[in-house]
Structure 1
Amino acid sequence: MTRSDSSLRRSLGVRDAVVIGLGSMIGAGVFAALGPAARAAGPALPLGLAVAAVVAYCNADSSARLAARYPQSGGTYVYGRERLGPFWGYLAGWAFVVGKTASCAAMALTVGAYVWPGQAHAVAVAAVVALTAVNYRGVQKSAWLTRVIVAVVLAVLASVVVVCLGSDASDAGRLGLSRSSGAAGGVLEAAGLLFFAFAGYARIATLGEEVRDPARTIPRAIPLALGITLVVYACVALSVLSVLGPTGLGRAAAPLADAVRAAGVPGLVPVVRAGAAVASLGSLLALILGVSRTALAMARDRYLPGALAAVHPRFRVPHRAELAVGAVVAVLAATVDVRGAIGFSSFGVLAYYAVANASAWTLEGAPLSRVVPVVGLLGCATLAFALPWVSVIVGAGVLAVGAAAYGVRRWAAA
């Protein structure tokens, strides 16, 4: 049987899919999000992490069930279209592409901030160009590079945990936990910030046409990647809290670097900074991969320019979509502020998963199987509106623009 020229190559097994998910989640978030989350939740930071993990698990379970039913590129764009109707699929795809494009810019700027702070924007653009070239050569090369990045980042994080837990400063940090308290609103805001770092398992679902036996591979890979990430994040958060305490962690611009310095091992600071840069590169690599696949699916349905649906005849990747995404991200990385990009991206990601949970709720199954999507949907809505109001207003406005564009297209086609 001959393969269609528009088909992608199924080359990824469970291990590769898990690694891509880990590369998306264990990235810049664990280096950058702990400080803002601690400012919001104080000593209740672990509770915020637990809330984020519960919502992420619900989203992962819904995504895995849907991916097994619809093993196609596009993720929730496809699920919403098939289960809820074309508009909801389009809205999910719009939220993902726009939100994650902003997230790509944020990750690129994080690389620049750690590698060369004085030329952060220039380094960010160079990183986008380099990783777009890697993705262009084929998804298997991306998986190989992601495996290397994940190994380096896990080694750095393990060093941070060992140094912090073995330090005399850890006792003072633990004492600080009993002198502060976090309000419920702060816990939810912290959960929203930390959820941003968990959200990478969507990248596994968006690769539905490039994994072997997707009906079995994707449902196995998503919870595995999420479970490993939760364990890593919990170990890092507790160890850094034990050294800096909630107040010190909340004030830290580079929490993990400050923690190893406070633990009495300043020589490890450059290693941590290098690890942060590598982690950001891993996140950026997987983000460009996922956004381009969703753009491919939307282009196939003519919600984006049809030229983006082209698949390279040799490398079997959506090369025009990858180049277009890379170009937009490079422009953003040269011009935007990283904090604004992250805030907007968080709102878009939560809107995307809200559609995923609503789609999973429509699947046939036992009544208990509908509880998880309901919890996930309510969790996404709660965390989205717990974000700073600027992020909520801008995010809702961009979603409204996308909805209006959909309406205009339908009206013109009528």
Structure 2
Amino acid sequence: MASETGEVAPAANREGETPVLERTETGDEATVVEEGTELERTIGLRGGLAIGIGTMIGAGIFVFPGIAAGDAGPAAAASFAIGAVIALLVALPTAELATAMPRSGGGYYYISRGMGALFGAVVGLSLWFGLVFASAFYLVGFGFYAQAVLDRLGVSLGGFDVVIPLALLCGAFLTVLNVTGTENAASLQNAVVGILLAIIVSFLSYGGLSAVGVVGAAEPIGEPFLSQGALSVLTTAALVFTSYLGFAQVATVAGEIKRPSRNLPLAMVGSVVVVGVLYVATIFVAVSAFGSQRLSTLGETAMVAVAESFLGPLGAIAILVGGLLATVSSANASVLSTSRAIYAVSKDALLPRWASRISLRYGTPHVALGLAGGPILLLVALGEVEVLAEVASFLHLIMYGLMCVALVALRRNEPAWYDPDFRVPAYPLVPVLGALASFALLGFMQRLSQVVGLAIMLLSAVWYYYYAADVTLRGVV
């Protein structure tokens, strides 16, 4: 575990494994440096923004409006706004940590270096499963939209529900795509996000004008803003927070970001701001068009009906295409980030070393991608949308809160290697508020999600004491 100065010793070698760290002697002092091949930096600012925006834009706009409106009424817009504020409070400290430690692994890497191996192991393994739950949620969303497309085209499958089979096929495809190269996945992400933004901005432009009576013949719904009560705003914020996981996924691929001192903060903060505005506007437009009660009956594809009410069949087709692209984009970025979390934990010997092997042909962590894709497909088979979303939110909120704590710890100790190119403004207020808000939101989740999240954290701690209690880490060198 970390010493009082933030320095930690090399990891113990394990029989049959390549040492994680290499120890070299210089005079009276020993220097420990990380051994092994680093991933190539191939992702620029556009790619970083595409990962952040592409991950977040899927669930928030195309899957959640009907569910959130049913839970919180028109105030669902406030739920998304609360989520954006919390995400921003965490994104700023994360940006500082990322510029000080531009390594793959994101939150795991920062917490392990700031708070020690035990916290790092619990967060790293929990992040693995948190991203697995998020990826499965996005893929199930893809399945709903894909089935809606088939229904729209009049393709009859004899009443057979193809949501889960289509989600499984998409998950397998994205896993293979990421194995064949980060640039392939990043290129897909850039293209998808560009098309998505064009569709969404067009939809919101018309929908916003319709909501205020400039175009169309929409009648005012007249529904009270807090029709479901004030508490529902917070419980819904806890549910939809899955929508804001994208900025942290940028940090998980920090080791592959070009010019990280500039591009990491811009990608993380920029993606939260852009997507937060789009979420709030989308809920406003959707509720203005249909009212929350009617919207809630339309489920995961509610936005198709809203678009069709505005622009007819053309609007429905545009949103169906957007929903397919958005859920693919979210799932693609999540599969990529899940593998990098596994890769980072394995490099530190908290998982078997073979999990961090890199494909000589493609330069990607192919074993880690397999360990990501397999559990994702298992969870997809369950198809429980709300539970998948909340468990992902629970585990990420734990990580977000601890990242803020890690920043305060590192600032207090100021180890020699901690030299960020970006410093969070209004320190320590921002990280303290980020930690408190992240932990507080956990209390508003449904009991099943809390139990599953805590069980994953407990099992992660058990694994650490069983497998890696002798592993200690050192700060970035």
| TM-score when normalising by structure 2 | 0.81
SS in 2 for 1:212: coil
Equivalent position of 2:26 in the other structure: none
Equivalent position of 2:451 in the other structure: 393
CA shift, 1:134, in A, is 1.4
**Equivalent residues in 2 for 1:214-363, closer than 5 Å:** 214-253=260-299, 254-263=301-310, 265-363=312-410
CA shift, 1:366, in A, is 9.0
Q: Give ranges in structure 2 of 5+ residues lacking alignment.
A: 1-34, 149-160, 211-215, 412-422, 473-477
Select which of 58, 62, 77 maps to 2:89: 58
CA shift, 1:39, in A, is 2.4
- Any conservation in 1 of the 2:339–2:365 contact (CA below 8 Å)? yes
- Any conservation in 2 of the 1:105–1:330 contact (CA below 8 Å)? yes
Equivalent position of 2:415 in the other structure: none
CA shift, 1:411, in A, is 5.7
Percent identity over paired residues: 27
- Any conservation in 2 of the 1:188–1:383 contact (CA below 8 Å)? yes
- Any conservation in 2 of the 1:101–1:325 contact (CA below 8 Å)? yes
Select which of 193, 201, 216 maps to 2:247: 201
User: What do residues 5-27 of structure 1 show as CA deviations (whole Å, max 9, x unaligned)?
Assistant: 61211112212211111111111
CA shift, 1:279, in A, is 0.7
Q: Take 2:424 and 2:386, find their aligned partners in 1: how far apart are those partners?
A: 42
Equivalent position of 1:172 in the other structure: 220
User: What do residues 123-148 of structure 1 show as CA deviations (whole Å, max 9, x unaligned)?
Assistant: 11211121112111211221110011
Q: Which amino acid aligns with 2:162?
A: Q
Q: Take 2:460 and 2:387, find their aligned partners in 1: how far apart are those partners?
A: 19
Q: Take 1:207 and 1:348, find their aligned partners in 2: how far apart are those partners?
A: 19
- Any conservation in 2 of the 1:160–1:256 contact (CA below 8 Å)? no
Alignment: residue pair count? 409
The RMSD of aligned alpha carbons is: 2.2
Q: Take 2:471 and 2:193, find their aligned partners in 1: how far apart are those partners?
A: 46
Select which of 10, 13, 29 maps to 2:60: 29
Name the structure where helix makes up a greater proportion of residues.
1
- Any conservation in 2 of the 1:108–1:124 contact (CA below 8 Å)? yes
Deviates more, 1:111-120 or 1:217-226: 111-120
Which 4+ stretches in 1 moved above 6 angstroms?
none
SS in 2 for 1:304: coil
CA shift, 1:189, in A, is 1.2
Equivalent position of 1:369 in the other structure: 427
Q: Take 1:222 and 1:367, find their aligned partners in 2: how far apart are those partners?
A: 15
- Any conservation in 2 of the 1:112–1:120 contact (CA below 8 Å)? yes
Determine which structure has more spread, i.e. the larger CA radius of gyration: 2
Select which of 178, 184, 198 maps to 2:230: 184
Q: Take 2:94 and 2:183, find their aligned partners in 1: how far apart are those partners?
A: 23
Equivalent position of 1:144 in the other structure: 187
User: What do residues 101-154 of structure 1 show as CA deviations (whole Å, max 9, x unaligned)?
Assistant: 122122112212221372122211211121112111211221110011112222
Q: Take 2:264 and 2:208, find their aligned partners in 1: how far apart are those partners?
A: 35
1:49 aligns with 2:80: yes
Q: Which amino acid aligns with 1:329?
A: I
CA shift, 1:59, in A, is 1.1
SS in 2 for 1:386: coil
Equivalent position of 2:441 in the other structure: 383
- Any conservation in 2 of the 1:169–1:243 contact (CA below 8 Å)? no
Q: Which amino acid aligns with 1:316?
A: G
1:80 aligns with 2:111: yes
User: What do residues 346-393 of structure 1 show as CA deviations (whole Å, max 9, x unaligned)?
Assistant: 211111212111112224379941111111111111211201111112
1:91 aligns with 2:122: yes
